[in-house]
Every structure is written in structure tokens, then in C-alpha cells.
């Protein structure tokens, strides 16, 4: 009976590993959330999947993160009706469903200078290869892929353990 309990605990841990293994993506790559970063180029080299987390790293007090509700607000830099505002300097946004989300800096003039990013999230089982990989940062893409491979392996191990328990 003790062995079955141990195996059950391992299976439960494997199920919770999905959260722990979600890819954490630093917005802007090594440059971070800054007005000098080309977010169009950066985001075009990324694949964002459900379960991933965006990490906005910046100097608190100089910048902020404002999530906008529409593409028109994004294009016109209208931050008067935000979905969410963050200002910690290390903000994490979980991508919990497929779709497009819009983020900009709330500091006056920064959005107009290009400090904004459009994030399109795909289902977790979509291919990991971005459509335009030439501008992708190898380290962030590799880390995201490694996280996903780790979860896939742990899922297969959990499934194998279930089969062993039945035999």
C-alpha cells in the first residue's frame, strides 16, 4: 500500500508540474521593457502559448505596463480605458487563453515612441516554431522549448506509471 501511495504522490506532482514548467518569457528579451527595444521585431520571433508567462522587467518609476482592451486603443496609444495596469518593475502576466492581447507603457510619450507590444497566444498544442524565426533570440526560444519538452516527458512518465499500477 505504501508503494501505491508514493506512486500516487508522484503522479499528482507531475500534474502540478505543468504550472512550474510553463515558459517564462522576458518581454523584449535581454533589453527588457524599454523604449529603445523594437518590440515588433522581438515579438515576431516568438511563439506564445497558453500557459506561458510574460515577464515585464523595467525600472519602476520610469515605466509601467498597461494592458489595453482593443487594437484601436493599441494603435492610437489610448490608455484611458486600461484592462490592467502594473508598475512593480517585475510584472508577470499569465497567458491563459488563445487570442491577442495588447500592452504598452503608461509613461507619457513612450507608447508613441514604440514602447508597446501585441501578443498573440496560440493553444498549448500548436507548433513551437515562430513564423519568422530569423529575429528570434535563441536563448529564449530554447528555454521555452526545453520547458515544454520537460512537461511532455513528465506527462509520459505519469502515464506509464498509471499503466504499471493497473498491471
pLDDT one-digit tens code per residue, 117-150: 999 999 977 666 554 333 334 444 434 444 444 4
Query: CA 141, 144, 149, 152 torsion: positive or negative?
Result: negative
Summarize pLDDT for 76-117 with one digit per residue, the tens. 999 999 999 999 999 999 999 999 999 999 999 999 999 999
Note whether residue 165 is domain-resident: no
Is position 121 within any domain?
yes
Q: What is the domain count for the chain? A: 1
Per the domain annotation, does 167 fall within a domain? no
Give the H/E segment covering residue 44: helix 39-44
Is the model's pLDDT at 34 over the cut of 70? yes
Per-residue pLDDT tens over the stretch 39-69: 999 999 899 999 999 999 999 999 999 999 9
pLDDT at 42: 96
| Region for residue 67 given its phi and psi (left: phi exceeds 0; alpha: psi -120 to 50; beta: otherwise) | beta
Q: The domain containing residue 57 runs over which residues?
A: 24-140
CB atoms within 10 A of CB 96: 11
CA 28 – CA 46 distance, rounded (Å): 10
Amino acid at each position: 500500500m505504501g508503494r501505491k501511495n508514493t506512486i500516487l504522490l508522484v503522479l499528482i506532482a507531475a500534474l502540478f508540474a505543468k504550472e512550474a514548467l510553463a515558459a517564462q518569457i522576458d518581454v523584449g528579451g535581454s533589453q527588457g521593457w524599454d523604449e529603445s527595444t523594437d518590440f515588433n521585431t522581438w515579438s515576431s520571433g516568438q511563439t506564445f502559448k497558453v500557459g506561458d508567462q510574460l515577464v515585464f522587467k523595467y525600472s519602476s518609476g520610469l515605466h509601467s505596463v498597461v494592458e489595453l482592451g482593443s487594437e484601436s486603443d493599441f494603435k492610437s496609444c489610448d490608455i484611458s480605458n486600461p484592462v490592467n495596469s502594473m508598475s512593480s518593475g517585475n510584472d508577470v502576466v499569465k497567458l491563459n487563453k488563445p487570442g491577442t492581447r495588447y500592452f504598452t507603457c503608461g509613461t507619457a510619450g513612450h507608447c508613441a515612441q514604440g514602447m508597446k507590444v501585441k501578443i498573440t497566444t496560440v493553444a498549448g498544442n500548436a507548433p513551437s516554431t515562430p513564423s519568422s524565426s530569423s529575429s528570434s533570440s535563441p536563448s529564449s526560444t530554447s528555454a521555452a522549448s526545453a520547458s515544454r519538452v520537460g512537461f511532455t516527458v513528465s506527462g509520459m512518465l505519469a502515464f506509464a506509471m498509471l499503466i504499471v499500477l493497473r498491471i
